[in-house]
Amino acid sequence: MVDASAVGLEHVTRSFGDIAALSDFTLEVPAGTIAMLLGPNGAGKTTAVRVVTGALPVDYGGVRVLGLDPLTDGEEVRRRCGVVPARPALYDRLTGYHNLRYAADLFEVAEPDSAIGAAAERFDITEALGQRVGGYSTGMRARLALARATLHDPDLLLLDEPTAGLDPESSRAVLDLIREMTRGGKTVLMCTHLLLEAEGIADHVVVMDHGRTLVSGSPQELTRRYWTSATVVIDAEEPGDLDRIATMPGITSYQRDGVALVGLDSLDRVADLVGALVRDGVRVTRVEPRMPSLEELYFAVRRASRGGDATVEPETTEGPTAPQRSGATR
């Protein structure tokens, strides 16, 4: 596995009793990108993140994190990772500042006060630093957990539902910050249920179910593979002129609400359709295929996997499964 990968899981299996939380699970996250694990409850997302942090040993398979093995090089991996777990453990009796100070000391941050100031500002928690965390709202706790995870300038951020409990505005701010961090070369692996809020930030999406990868790829690749419906947004100087589209060949639906939303039996029809409009003297100002939201895409993949489309089988990768090590939950 090359070191351009920030995270590499190869054929990882991890069971709890009879439950295979991860089953022959393979994941590669290139450095400097944002990968998002999507899936229903119990799909194995949190287990995957815990394997990466070294909190859970695997039964079988290979794990590399920043070129290191999180079990044998645990200290180095922890120093270079920032983790926001699903339920961040914060010290309620301490102030926000002292929570961050404790973490800064653990990570041996050279200039703790300036690092605390910068992290608190990044996540808009500066004014609450003097208050005890027991009195924080859910959103403030989430933001403090994010500040704590980024305090030591980690190379890899592992985030389990980082926007849970945040209002839409704060969620967007957090996601924008996550995007900003990858511009500086950081890598992010995050789990989420909040598909709409995660829109537009994932470079790579992995849809999981039953501990396996159902499908993975960039949002664009998944759109090409699973978004069969062809819908095009069309606008014109005189939008009423567009209504003639409704009776043209190959049109499966037509709706006009400001712009026209046109369903086609194939995107190949677009050129002919625009040609016909232009011949009729319609001054077309916009023609744009409508891309699915991450949420629509997710449900399209899930529908296909439930038998609507036999082409979706859990993804497997070639190569031998290397038994590696076993161990119990720490």
Using CB under 6 A, pick the residue from 45, 78, 143, 212 that binds ligand ATP.
45
Sole window of 24-32, 37-45, 95-103, 233-241 interacting with ligand ATP (rule: CB under 6 A): 37-45
Q: Say how far apart CA 273 and CA 271 lie, in whole Å.
A: 5
The residue type found at 82 is: G
Site membership for ligand ATP, residue 41 (CB under 6 A):
yes
Site membership for ligand ATP, residue 21 (CB under 6 A):
yes
Decide whether 54 or 112 has the Cβ nearer to ligand ATP: 54
Q: Say how far apart CA 183 and CA 186 lie, in whole Å.
A: 7
Burial label, 168 (beta-carbon count in 10 A; 0-12, 13-18, 19+)? exposed
Decide whether 23 or 33 has the Cβ nearer to ligand ATP: 23
Q: Return the residues of window 113-132 that contact ligand ATP according to CB under 6 A.
A: none
Least distance (Å) from ligand ATP to the CB of residue 207? Answer: 11
Site membership for ligand ATP, residue 106 (CB under 6 A):
no
Decide whether 88 or 263 has the Cβ nearer to ligand ATP: 88
Using CB under 6 A, pick the residue from 42, 88, 239, 292 that binds ligand ATP.
42
Sole window of 39-47, 104-112, 167-175, 231-239 interacting with ligand ATP (rule: CB under 6 A): 39-47
Sole window of 2-10, 16-24, 132-140, 284-292 interacting with ligand ATP (rule: CB under 6 A): 16-24
Count of residues touching ligand ATP (by CB under 6 A): 12
Using CB under 6 A, pick the residue from 13, 23, 47, 192 that binds ligand ATP.
47
Least distance (Å) from ligand ATP to the CB of residue 312? Answer: 19
Which residues of this chain interact with ligand ATP, rule CB under 6 A?
16, 19, 21, 39, 41-47, 329
